[in-house]
């Protein structure tokens, strides 16, 4: 779960980057932010068994149809610059 301050940081970043955002499926403009960040796991082709690293993302869910969009947390600049593994506090 995000703290209130983390919710504010994520919401601010999304508004700054996306502006007015409408669901590409139904046109609704109300979204929920999933209060955990996800991680797309990546693995090198030469070694498909070991997961090597991942790309953190923030997920939005459309309030009408449930369409989910994923936004790179690095691009949103919401990660703690010290750890890059947690959200800014």
Task: Closer to Zn ion by CB, 7 or 21: give it.
Answer: 21
Q: Mark the segment that binds Zn ion (CB under 5 A) among 23-31, 38-46, 50-58, 79-87.
A: 23-31
Task: Closer to Zn ion by CB, 20 or 83: give it.
Answer: 20
Which of 16, 17, 25, 30 is close enough to bind Zn ion by CB under 5 A?
Answer: 25
Query: How many residues of this chain interact with Zn ion, rule: CB under 5 A?
Result: 8
Q: Which residues of 28-61 are buried (b: 16+ CB within 10 A; e: fewer)?
A: eeebebbeebeeeeeeeeeeeeeeeeeebbbbbe
**Is residue 26 close enough to count as binding Zn ion by CB under 5 A?**
yes
| Sequence-distant contacts of 78-87: CB under 8 A, at least 24 apart | 78/6, 78/9, 78/10, 78/13, 85/56, 87/2, 87/6, 87/9, 87/10, 87/37
Residues 32 to 71 in contact with Zn ion, rule: CB under 5 A = 62, 64-65, 67
Binding site for Zn ion (CB under 5 A): 23, 25-26, 28, 62, 64-65, 67
């Amino acid at each position: 779960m995000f703290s209130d301050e983390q919710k504010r940081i994520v919401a601010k970043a999304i508004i700054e980057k996306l502006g007015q955002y409408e669901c590409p499926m139904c046109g609704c403009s109300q979204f929920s932010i999933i209060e955990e960040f996800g991680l797309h796991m990546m693995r090198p082709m030469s070694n498909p068994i070991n997961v090597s690293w991942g790309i953190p993302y923030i997920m939005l869910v459309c309030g009408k149809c449930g369409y989910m969009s994923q936004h790179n947390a690095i691009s949103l600049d919401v990660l703690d610059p010290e750890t890059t593994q947690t959200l800014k506090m």
